[in-house]
């Protein structure tokens, strides 16, 4: 899966299992180059993260509600109303997003078929 933000495509990893969500980016030292999608989640924490990330909170229609650029490790975003998905992106991604923008996720498999 990919997401297009300001003419740039970012690969997205959808984390649905408890094990994947728990591990996510803990103890990852090298800068990330892909995004992470946490469906059906309204808050987020960065405990044991070893780098800063950009965090985007969206509603069911994938409209951006909250942006957290350059979010530090060892911080928490408490659950917020109307938030349905959380995206974690590499640094600098939030620079090209605004509140109210709509995220569009494309699946390569569906485009080929």
Q: What is the CATH number of the domain that holds 45?
A: 2.60.120.1140
pLDDT of residue 67: 94
Predicted local distance difference test score (pLDDT) of residue 110: 56
Boundaries of domain holding 99: 2-112
- Within a 10 A sphere around the Cβ of 93, how many other Cβ atoms? 22
- Tell me the CA distances in angstroms from 47 to 21, 62, 76, one per residue in order: 13, 25, 8
pLDDT of residue 113: 35
Task: Give the number of domains in the chain.
Answer: 1
| pTM: predicted TM-score of the whole model, two decimal places | 0.83
Which residues in the chain show pLDDT less than 50? 111-113
Q: What is the CA radius of gyration of the chain?
A: 13
């Amino acid at each position: 899966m990919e997401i297009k933000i300001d003419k740039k495509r970012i690969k997205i990893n959808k984390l649905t299992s408890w094990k994947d969500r728990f591990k996510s980016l803990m103890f990852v030292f090298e800068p990330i180059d892909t995004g992470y999608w946490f469906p059906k989640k309204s808050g987020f924490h960065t405990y044991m993260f070893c780098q800063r990330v950009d965090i985007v909170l969206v509603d069911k229609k994938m409209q951006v509600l909250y942006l957290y650029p350059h979010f530090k490790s060892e911080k928490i975003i408490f659950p917020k109303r109307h938030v349905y998905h959380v995206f974690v992106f590499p640094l600098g991604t939030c620079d090209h997003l605004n509140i109210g923008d709509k995220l569009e996720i494309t699946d390569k498999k569906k485009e080929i078929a």
